[in-house]
Chain A
Amino acid sequence: DAGVTQSPTHLIKTRGQQVTLRCSPKSGHDTVSWYQQALGQGPQFIFQYYEEEERQRGNFPDRFSGHQFPNYSSELNVNALLLGDSALYLCASSFGTGGKTQYFGPGTRLLVL
């Protein structure tokens, strides 16, 4: 049973560019949440997708957007990258929005130069 997978594992971008990160949820899960983890800090909630809709959003600007596909996989897009966007981006999957147990993928390490 494959767990949560994310791609790419590492990414280097320059300021002002755009980036797309991808996530495939654990088998049987239909909800995907995205988190940003800065170095030395705990993950911070970005948003959650269920039934291809954004269900809840954290305190992140509109530069952060997402999408969920019919097969439950998800993308995180960040536009106009800033140096401060450098972080580990984590995807977590769960069953239903009320399914509180979230399982995390290995993350995508984004470095903005």
Chain B
Amino acid sequence: GENVEQHPSTLSVQEGDSAVIKCTYSDSASNYFPWYKQELGKGPQLIIDIRSNVGEKKDQRIAVTLNKTAKHFSLHITETQPEDSAVYFCAASTARDSSYKLIFGSGTRLLVRP
């Protein structure tokens, strides 16, 4: 069935270091991969996304890479700051009859130590 696996479940880095979160998806028809940041008590906030016709996308300190052959995609955060501390979710979009839904990973709790 449709599944997205996400690793690691927790990640602790020193301020200024880089953080990498990896996801694997099962549906080879998936073609849209968003990343969300969720702070305590809030809804998920879209931070970056990538479509299957692109291998890499960057937005300031955040970048996402996609390997469609291996069905892997990753989030890279450089020069981490304490305000980057949150839970990050990857997702893959799957379609049925032109209607799309998101399948989420289980989340990564990122802690940036000052």
B6 surroundings in chain A (CB, below 8 A) = 42
Closest to A9 in B: B41
A58 surroundings in chain B (CB, below 8 A) = 101
Within 8 A of A (CB), among B21-61: 32, 34, 36, 42-46, 49
A90 within 8 A of B: yes
Cα separation A105 to B43 with both chains bound (whole Å): 6
What number of residue pairs across chains A and B have CB atoms under 8 A from each other?
A: 66
Segment with Cβ contacts to A, from B11-19, B75-83, B92-100: B92-100
Least CB distance, B35 to chain A, in whole angstroms: 12
B89 surroundings in chain A (CB, below 8 A) = 42-43
Known: A55-B97, A56-B97. A43 touches B102 (CB 8 A): yes
A107 surroundings in chain B (CB, below 8 A) = 42-43
Least CB distance, B99 to chain A, in whole angstroms: 4
Q: Is the CB of B106 within 8 A of A100?
A: no
Cα separation A45 to B103 with both chains bound (whole Å): 7
B73 within 8 A of A: no
With A42-B89, A100-B32, A100-B93 given, can you name 20 additional A-B contacts, CB distance below 8 Å?
A4-B43, A33-B102, A41-B107, A42-B91, A42-B104, A45-B101, A48-B101, A56-B97, A56-B99, A90-B44, A92-B102, A97-B99, A97-B100, A98-B95, A98-B99, A98-B100, A104-B36, A104-B44, A104-B45, A107-B43
